Chain A
């Protein structure tokens, strides 16, 4: 049986406990997890880490840009990277999210993540 490194998912969320919980859920699903507290940290990680498969980002966060703006930056600079936006607020209008990205409403559970990643074809 060949083992391969687990797919890397970058979580962007400023609230520490919520970020930990997301990381915990994704690790339990078998993914390898990177964490950022805001968009600037996220971009720094993406610049130094090869092959991040997906970015899961909150919308409201401090720093130079919010999560929605981040998704457009990621889509522009790392086109193959899948994008999942999570938020407790309203789903953004279709025009405000990059094509092919997904939205999950908070509060979310492991099954929500699993289902959405499966829809995007992000295997472990």
Chain B
């Protein structure tokens, strides 16, 4: 039958060291009964018991609290130590020793961090015992403090776990929100892009309009990249992996050209040189490879020297597929190179503090999803990113 104090009994029961404590207590003092008791103003409940004298108390078993000395300890907050009841000036006439049949007694209060009284660590024996030694008292005090510290830790952990569970729930909700937002932003973005394309066709002959529209398209391209990367990142955090839609299409060059053209149009002041030699049809997800290439070129434009060209090359043969993006500039330090593909990693000297630092992370995830690798090397004025996908 469960006690209404079952939680406390279980808490003490779950502390692995309590049985050892009770054992050491009995061995050190030579006494035959030791226990951890929960003591309130109206109850005395055994939580853990070591009984060599057939005292007959089990965990959950209770004594009438007014008949125990623990009751008085609860009031005073001080330990009670009796070497020999018969010789003790305070306790030789006390009813409790006679009632429970003990001659020696020690009980140490267990006090929680918040000052509340939990109960006692106590021991009794029908024979007298040497208890008033500093080593014995010190040991009891230490053990009582240990038990209190354990109980406090258990409570603290429970609180922390609750907070963690709540944070996790909020976190998952946030990620879902971002993933949905990213998805929902795509259509309106595509809509505005369509609008600029139509206006571009209508106003082909007007340089001012063209310029404005090109700049708009550049911004839209940046937005699309941000939306794609953040939506993918949120989805990956929710546990959704990158699913690929593979097509072994000879039109891969067209996909790569489109990405290069888009970025050229968005950065008319920069030189992007492309060289493709795709001799074999490669099974890749075109949309994802386009995203990877866009992220790599975007990165090269952000961190490379503005007066040096960004070089894009792609090669597809029997050995596999290789896509490389190079930019000129100061070498990337080795420590930075190692962390480049982590989410939210930012390179040094970023232009205007923009960017989520997700582009390279997403690119490396796309590479991995294709069974390939994305590596970076830097030196002698050139930084090179290579997506290498070996033939299956």
Task: Check B198–A106 contact: CB distance below 8 A.
Answer: no
B81-124: CB near A (< 8 Å → 1, else 0) gives 00000000000000000000000000000000000000000000
Which B residues touch A4, using CB under 8 A?
none
Task: Check A24–B198 contact: CB distance below 8 A.
Answer: yes
The verdict on B287 contacting chain A, using a C-beta distance below 8 Å, is yes
Task: Check B198–A90 contact: CB distance below 8 A.
Answer: no
The verdict on B191 contacting chain A, using a C-beta distance below 8 Å, is yes
Which A residues touch B247, using CB under 8 A?
91
Option from B186, B192, B198, B258 in Cβ contact (under 8 Å) with A88? B186
Which B residues touch A91, using CB under 8 A?
245, 247
The verdict on A41 contacting chain B, using a C-beta distance below 8 Å, is no
Option from A20, A24, A107 in Cβ contact (under 8 Å) with B190? A107
Q: Number of A residues contacting the other chain (C-beta, 8 Å)?
A: 16
Which A residues touch B258, using CB under 8 A?
109
Task: Say whether, besides A24-B198, A88-B186, A107 and B193 are in contact (CB < 8 Å).
Answer: yes
Which has the most chain A C-beta neighbours within 10 Å: B186, B197, B198? B197
Which B residues touch A60, using CB under 8 A?
187
Task: Check A90–B191 contact: CB distance below 8 A.
Answer: no
Task: Check B186–A20 contact: CB distance below 8 A.
Answer: no
Which B residues touch A15, using CB under 8 A?
187-188, 190-191, 194
Task: Check B245–A17 contact: CB distance below 8 A.
Answer: no
Task: Check B191–A18 contact: CB distance below 8 A.
Answer: yes
Which A residues touch B186, using CB under 8 A?
88
Option from B187, B195, B286 in Cβ contact (under 8 Å) with A105? B286
In whole angstroms, what is the CA distance A88 to B188 when docked? 12
The verdict on B75 contacting chain A, using a C-beta distance below 8 Å, is no
In whole angstroms, what is the CA distance A24 to B138 when docked? 91
The verdict on A21 contacting chain B, using a C-beta distance below 8 Å, is yes
Which A residues touch B195, using CB under 8 A?
17, 20-21
The verdict on B2 contacting chain A, using a C-beta distance below 8 Å, is no
The verdict on A80 contacting chain B, using a C-beta distance below 8 Å, is no
The verdict on B27 contacting chain A, using a C-beta distance below 8 Å, is no
In whole angstroms, what is the CA distance A90 to B258 when docked? 19
| Chain B, interface SS category | helix
B204 to nearest A CB, angstroms? 12
The verdict on A16 contacting chain B, using a C-beta distance below 8 Å, is yes
Task: Check B190–A106 contact: CB distance below 8 A.
Answer: yes
Task: Check B201–A17 contact: CB distance below 8 A.
Answer: no
In whole angstroms, what is the CA distance A90 to B194 when docked? 20
A1-35: CB near B (< 8 Å → 1, else 0) gives 00000000000000111101100100010000000
Task: Check B198–A20 contact: CB distance below 8 A.
Answer: yes
Task: Say whether, besides A90-B243, A91-B245, A91-B247, A16 and B191 are in contact (CB < 8 Å).
Answer: yes
Task: Check B201–A105 contact: CB distance below 8 A.
Answer: no
In whole angstroms, what is the CA distance A25 to B360 when docked? 35
Task: Check A18–B194 contact: CB distance below 8 A.
Answer: yes
Task: Check A18–B190 contact: CB distance below 8 A.
Answer: yes
In whole angstroms, what is the CA distance A88 to B284 when docked? 17
A10 to nearest B CB, angstroms? 18
Task: Say whether, besides A24-B201, A88-B186, A17 and B243 are in contact (CB < 8 Å).
Answer: no
User: Which B residues from 180 to 236 make CB contacts under 8 A with A?
Assistant: 186-188, 190-195, 197-198, 201
User: Which B residues from 147 to 200 make CB contacts under 8 A with A?
Assistant: 186-188, 190-195, 197-198
A88 to nearest B CB, angstroms? 6
A63 to nearest B CB, angstroms? 16
In whole angstroms, what is the CA distance A24 to B199 when docked? 11
In whole angstroms, what is the CA distance A107 to B254 when docked? 13
Which A residues touch B190, using CB under 8 A?
15, 18, 88, 106-107
Which B residues touch A20, using CB under 8 A?
194-195, 198
Task: Say whether, besides A105-B286, A106-B190, A21 and B197 are in contact (CB < 8 Å).
Answer: yes
13 A-B pairs with CB atoms under 8 Å apart are A15-B188, A17-B192, A18-B190, A20-B194, A21-B195, A21-B197, A24-B201, A90-B245, A105-B286, A105-B287, A106-B190, A107-B190, A109-B258
Additional A-B contact list (8), CB under 8 Å, known A15-B194, A88-B187:
A15-B190, A15-B191, A17-B191, A18-B191, A21-B195, A88-B186, A107-B190, A109-B258
Binding site for B on A (CB under 8 A): 15-18, 20-21, 24, 28, 60, 88, 90-91, 105-107, 109
